[in-house]
Amino acid sequence: RSNEVEELDMAIVLLDFVEKALRVAKQALGKHAGKPESGGLPREAHIVAHCIRKEEDHTFTELVDRIGLMPEVCDRLGIHPDGLPDPTTFYHSIDRYAMYVWRALLRTSAQQLRQSGHVALDSTFFERKQASQYYLQRSGRSVKTIKATTLTDTESLAVLDVHCCIEREHDTKAGPRVVRRNADELRSVAADNGFQDWHTEYEIAALDVEYLVHHQGSRPMAVANNALIRAKGYTQRWMSETSYSTAKRTQDSALRSRFWYRQFREIVLMFALNNIKKLAETL
């Protein structure tokens, strides 16, 4: 009996998660939400299906089987349990929805959470279990990880933006990109010394955003700067690492998509999913 109650509780939580994800997906799609003119599933249903797949680490075939066992979820997504789409339908929807759609999902999911304007700028790496053969042939080398540079709100731990790259792009190149895209909503950015050079400091200062970056060395100017930024909130920079740890611990941190552009979208989806889960009931 206790197992039945536990399964019921899990189902209720999953349904709440689906409803939250569906709301965020509709907002991200805006006027493009709903069924396409050619027919088929609503666009937001595809996005929510990928959230379920990523959260529960399913293959596309397992995803269809899983959805078929949840009539309430089918009802929310506009899917008839007896007319489930082929797994390839969800597989190809990753290609149909361009990167800006997944970025919109990330941004909209972050907007559901309280934002302080104070963010941490940091980078993390994701392992590629299946490297893109196309990329390997063109580059002539094997790339085992993808670098992701993110902005994380230090109060809510919401990931606001992410920049992905296969090449080992230096932090001082990737950092200003994500800050520039979000400058209008930022008050301060905390970053470690990997993001420190005078070009980056000048560019971010020109955006009217306070840049709390740690300086290397023991010269009096560096020591004074580091003491000042600690007083202004630099110590909250570790919140980005907490966000990374949560995302990788609760989801499979290894990328399973075969092609690099799919892997980029998978990373963005992972962080968006982490934001959405903060809105849903805890398992």
pLDDT confidence of 44, banded at 50, 70, 90? Answer: very high
Q: Is 52 found in the same domain as 10?
A: yes
Reported confidence tier of residue 259, pLDDT bands at 50, 70, 90: confident
SS3 percent helix, strand, coil of the chain, rounded to 5, is: 60, 15, 25
129 with 81, same domain: the answer is no
Name the domain boundary from 41, 69, 97: 97
Q: Is residue 262 part of a domain?
A: no
What contacts 279, CB < 8 A, 6 or more positions away? 20, 24, 109, 112, 113
Q: Same structural domain for residues 31 and 74?
A: yes
In a domain, 50, yes or no: yes
Give yes or no: residues 17 and 79 share one domain. yes
Domain boundary among 49, 66, 97: 97
Is the residue at 283 inside a domain? no
- In the predicted structure, residue 130 carries a pLDDT above the cut 60: no
Q: Is position 108 within any domain?
A: no
Is residue 280 in some structural domain?
no
pLDDT of residue 233 exceeding 90, the answer is no
Q: Residue 238 belongs to what domain range?
A: 114-257
CA-to-CA distance for 150 and 162, rounded, in angstroms? 4
Share of the chain above pLDDT 70, in %: 84
Q: Is residue 64 part of a domain?
A: yes
Query: Last residue of some domain: 66, 97, 128?
Result: 97
Does some domain include residue 270? no
Residue 145 has pLDDT above 70, yes or no: yes
CATH number at residue 134: 3.30.420
- C-alpha–C-alpha distance, residues 98 and 43, integer Å: 12
Average pLDDT over residues 78-91: 87
- Give the strand order in the sheet containing 210-213: 159-165, 145-153, 118-127, 188-191, 210-213
Query: How many domains would you assign to the chain?
Result: 2
Same domain, 145 and 242: yes
148 shares its domain with 228: yes
Residues 123 and 76 in one domain: no
CA distance 163 to 184: 18
What's the average model confidence in pLDDT over 220-237? 71
Q: 119 and 253 share a domain?
A: yes
The answer to whether the CB of 191 falls within 8 A of the CB of 237 is yes
136 pLDDT exceeds 60?
Answer: no
Q: Are residues 204 and 150 in the same domain?
A: yes
Q: How confident is the model at residue 195 (pLDDT cuts 50, 70, 90)?
A: confident
Q: What confidence tens digit (pLDDT) does each residue in 100-120 have?
A: 999 999 999 999 998 888 898
Residues 151, 238 within the same domain: yes
Mean pLDDT computed over 180-189:
90
Residue 140 and residue 44 share a domain: no
User: Do 84 and 215 belong to one domain?
Assistant: no
The confidence band for 10, taking pLDDT boundaries of 50, 70 and 90, is: very low
Residue 107 belongs to some domain of the structure: no
Is the pLDDT at 5 greater than 60? The verdict is no
Q: Looking at residues 81-92, what average pLDDT do you find?
A: 87
